[in-house]
Structure 1
């Protein structure tokens, strides 16, 4: 077995962040199905608070068992901002916005978020915008628009709803960009646990609504709210933070464009909502764009060093394969 064959095997450091990102997008896609049930019985603020309390309880238990301690002082600004914007503002205004507009319109507007993440990451974090990332995001956004248009209902939209979804996209982008530097100082579990706690504290004014609505809500709605807290919040935000700490904010934001395609698939499987050809085409575009945005050019220099020990290897994969 040659040295080049051994090095071709993906190491855990390579595939674990990809797997973590995959867990995140699957669970976030499942959240849309659960929100449909819980949102019928709980108001936007109460649903956000109940979800965050369930998430904070699970995360706090894991944090205590692992004995990771408090995050370093340098990580707190990013944790506080991401907790307020992403865990707090985003969840409340998105729940509210989806009551004012149909799901398709909400999906289209909120999917501006990954583009804002890439732009803010370049501006505030000094991240680059590789051509493949830009091209992939363009393809995915076109797919998200196609899915949104195909899912949009007639006559169920308002200026307020669109503005709320736009605010949700801005809060989401700001939260991700604020979270990225914090992950250089603290662990994914610390950042997620205390970010979720900050969001829960910010939503405490809705505690009265939550208690009142929980008393009359059907069990299925309450169970869906708990599910949202345990899986799409506690688990998915932790796997997100783990992956974000190992890549750029722009690339992670682009990965979330897989969510609309997965929502279409889950609605088909679990809600018997058969998608049309336009919807399926949009979902395929979303996935194709994610694949492009996360791909990397082949490194001919690596092959050259393994074969001949030289650093001046061709970057063209076709020429590299002829050596």
Structure 2
């Protein structure tokens, strides 16, 4: 990658890393009524979808794939992520734990797509699982583990969406983001009505704080549309193995931003486990290069998890 495109890849990692702090500000605006997390996700995807769905062509995949990606990669992932953060999961730690989706994708693809992982990828999974265990132990020493488990469920939902997209041979494009995003608002708004009650939902909508509105705009426009648009362009120009390793910067940015803006300081156990998790993800996605020429495509039957790094943020 040339310097300009490398800088754009870093910019995307920064936008996605700051996304977690933006979500935290929106969930906890301070001085006003907090928006229920499921309703907040529905608001985000209204902004992702409209008015763009009227100008962006439907992706060339079946409706089953679009609905599946919308339910798992968007509604499930972000509904659970926002819920976990609303229950106390720190923004920086959430940006780290969500990267477990790479490792979960390796396992799910082996089970449902018959894509046999390499030894290197299996080693990455083992390192990542060990890292998550250390994070859980460190987290349990200072706070309840439930929010951590919910964010792990968000990572599993994201990985499931990856498998659906892969099976459908969906192109990694902005159209899939917008059209699959249309699946999200009504189900999550309906769930919010059931879980939080109509009075709470109506009161929240009637008392939206500036921080919540700005957060929804940032997550929809910069994290989803701008970030994903740049990312998809880079994947169209370069091998995915050149582009996807930049996602390893996302938790670095997320944890640094949370430390500077939210005064979140991870415990020693969380930090050690996080480094081990990142080592596992790096082992799974960083590919060895041949001595000459660009990287060749993977051998038949081998999973290339770097393809999944283009998933929606």
Distance of aligned partners of 1:164 and 1:33 in 2 relative to their CA distance in 1, 3 Å threshold = same
Aligned counterpart, 2:84: 97
Alignment of 1:34 onto 2:27:
no
Shift of residue 91, structure 1, vs aligned partner:
1.7
Aligned counterpart for 2:43 among listed residues 40, 44, 50: 50
Distance of aligned partners of 1:187 and 1:37 in 2 relative to their CA distance in 1, 3 Å threshold = closer
8 Å contact kept, 1:144–1:257: no
Aligned counterpart, 1:200: 185
SS at match of 2:14: helix
Shift of residue 98, structure 1, vs aligned partner:
2.9
Aligned counterpart, 2:305: none
SS at match of 1:299: coil
Aligned counterpart, 2:303: none
Which structure would you say has the larger RCO, counting Cα contacts within 8 Å and 6 or more residues apart? 2
Aligned counterpart for 2:108 among listed residues 116, 120, 126: 120
Aligned counterpart for 1:264 among listed residues 251, 255, 269: 255
- State the TM-score, normalizing by the size of structure 1: 0.67
8 Å contact kept, 2:45–2:182: yes
Distance of aligned partners of 1:111 and 1:165 in 2 relative to their CA distance in 1, 3 Å threshold = same
SS at match of 2:182: helix
8 Å contact kept, 2:47–2:220: yes
CA distance in 1, matches of 2:248, 2:228: 16
8 Å contact kept, 1:75–1:186: no
Q: Name the larger-Rg structure.
A: 1
After superposition, the C-alpha distances for 1:192-241 in whole angstroms (9 at most, x for unaligned) are: 11011122243342486655313223212221122112122233445566
CA distance in 2, matches of 1:272, 1:101: 14
Alignment of 1:80 onto 2:67:
yes
CA RMSD of aligned residues (A): 4.0
Distance of aligned partners of 1:140 and 1:131 in 2 relative to their CA distance in 1, 3 Å threshold = same
Distance of aligned partners of 1:141 and 1:239 in 2 relative to their CA distance in 1, 3 Å threshold = farther
Aligned counterpart, 1:156: 144
8 Å contact kept, 2:13–2:249: yes
SS at match of 2:50: helix
Distance of aligned partners of 1:110 and 1:186 in 2 relative to their CA distance in 1, 3 Å threshold = closer
Aligned counterpart, 1:311: none
Aligned counterpart for 1:132 among listed residues 96, 116, 120: 120
CA distance in 2, matches of 1:232, 1:149: 31
Aligned counterpart, 1:174: 160
After superposition, the C-alpha distances for 1:120-139 in whole angstroms (9 at most, x for unaligned) are: 12233343422333334444
Aligned counterpart for 1:293 among listed residues 271, 278, 284: 284
Aligned counterpart, 1:4: none
Q: Which runs of 5+ in 2 are unaligned?
A: 29-33, 295-313
Distance of aligned partners of 1:241 and 1:58 in 2 relative to their CA distance in 1, 3 Å threshold = farther
Aligned counterpart, 2:298: none
Q: How does 1:218-237 map to 2 (within 5 A)?
A: 218-237=209-228
CA distance in 2, matches of 1:52, 1:108: 23
CA distance in 2, matches of 1:179, 1:244: 16
8 Å contact kept, 1:180–1:244: no
CA distance in 2, matches of 1:135, 1:22: 27
Shift of residue 269, structure 1, vs aligned partner:
3.2
Distance of aligned partners of 1:154 and 1:272 in 2 relative to their CA distance in 1, 3 Å threshold = closer
SS at match of 2:35: coil
SS at match of 1:198: coil
Stretch of structure 1 that moved more, 233-242 or 112-121:
233-242
